[in-house]
């Protein structure tokens, strides 16, 4: 079973690229290059958004990677990562189920934004580069495999063998990347239709707004367990 495979990988500190951290304690994100395009969101006005080339993580952020941020001296407790955001909570969210190769949960939009800022600082990015949450249209562009208007990342029909959703009967998260056939061809980006829902940068009610001001609800995309 996929759940058992994930647990065994966790027992050997899951060696897959993109799941853990490097020797310096920096999340070892495996980045996937995504080309430009355009996406029409299924909102009331069906707005079309241009998508510039970008890179996205192959897997959702794991507990191993998120805890590196929590435990770093310049991480969760560093006010610099929270400038313009809500005040940080007294403590990070609970690590449920105790597996480091599972996706991080109990993470607010503000937590996710602070993590991205910290990771960008630690990775010493080049001029004009930043690490941030994807916009909803960037996320959808990846999930539909580019121009193909698919209902699901793999095609038109739901397949419970391709995502950790309710139909899988597991009832909790699994290790990231346990459903490789759920990736949206031609890009090997995983867990878009199951395991956990993912935060996007923009507001829910006004999708074109991506600023930090206000307390508007933000977009969550993707299926979860």
Task: Write the pLDDT tens digit of every residue in 113-151.
Answer: 999 999 999 997 888 899 999 999 999 999 999 977 788
The domains of the chain, with CATH numbers, are 2-221 (3.90.1580.10)
* Distance of alpha carbon 178 from alpha carbon 192, whole angstroms: 12
Share of residues in the chain with pLDDT > 70 (%):
96
* Distance of alpha carbon 161 from alpha carbon 168, whole angstroms: 7
* pLDDT for the residue 96: 59
Q: Which two tokens stand for residue 142?
A: 């990846």
Partners of 55 in the β-ladder: 33
Mean pLDDT of the chain: 91
The kind and range of the H/E element at 111 are helix 109-122
Looking from the CA of 97 toward its CB, the CA atoms found within 13 Å total: 21
**pTM of the predicted model as reported, rounded to 2 decimal places:** 0.93
* Distance of alpha carbon 82 from alpha carbon 188, whole angstroms: 32
* pLDDT for the residue 171: 87
**Stretch 203-219: mean pLDDT:** 88
Residue 10 has pLDDT above 80, yes or no: yes
Residue 124, phi then psi, degrees to nearest 5: 50, 65
* pLDDT for the residue 33: 98
Residue with tokens 């794991």: 62
Whether the CB-CB separation of 110 and 86 falls below 8 Å is answered with yes
The kind and range of the H/E element at 116 are helix 109-122
Pick the more confident residue, 97 or 214. 214
């Amino acid at each position: 079973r996929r759940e058992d495979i994930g647990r065994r990988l966790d027992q050997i500190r899951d060696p897959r690229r993109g799941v853990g951290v490097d020797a310096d304690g920096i999340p070892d994100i495996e980045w996937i290059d995504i080309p430009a395009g355009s996406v029409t969101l299924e909102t009331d006005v069906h707005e079309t958004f241009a998508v510039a080339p970008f890179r996205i993580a192959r897997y959702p952020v794991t507990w191993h990677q998120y805890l590196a941020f929590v435990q770093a001296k310049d991480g969760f407790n560093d006010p610099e990562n929270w400038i313009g955001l809500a005040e940080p909570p007294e403590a990070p969210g609970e690590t449920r189920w105790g597996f480091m190769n599972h996706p991080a949960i109990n993470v607010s939009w503000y937590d996710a934004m602070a993590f991205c800022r910290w990771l960008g600082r630690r990775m010493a990015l080049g001029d004009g580069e930043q690490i941030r949450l994807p916009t909803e249209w960037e996320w959808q562009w990846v999930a539909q495999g580019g121009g193909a208007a698919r209902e699901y990342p793999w095609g038109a029909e739901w397949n419970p063998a391709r995502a950790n959703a309710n139909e899988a009967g597991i009832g909790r998260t699994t290790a990231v990347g346990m459903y490789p056939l759920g990736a949206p061809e031609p890009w090997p980006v995983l867990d878009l239709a199951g395991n956990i829902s993912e935060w996007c940068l923009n507001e829910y009610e006004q999708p074109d707004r991506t600023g930090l001001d206000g307390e508007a609800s933000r977009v969550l995309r993707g299926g979860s367990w």
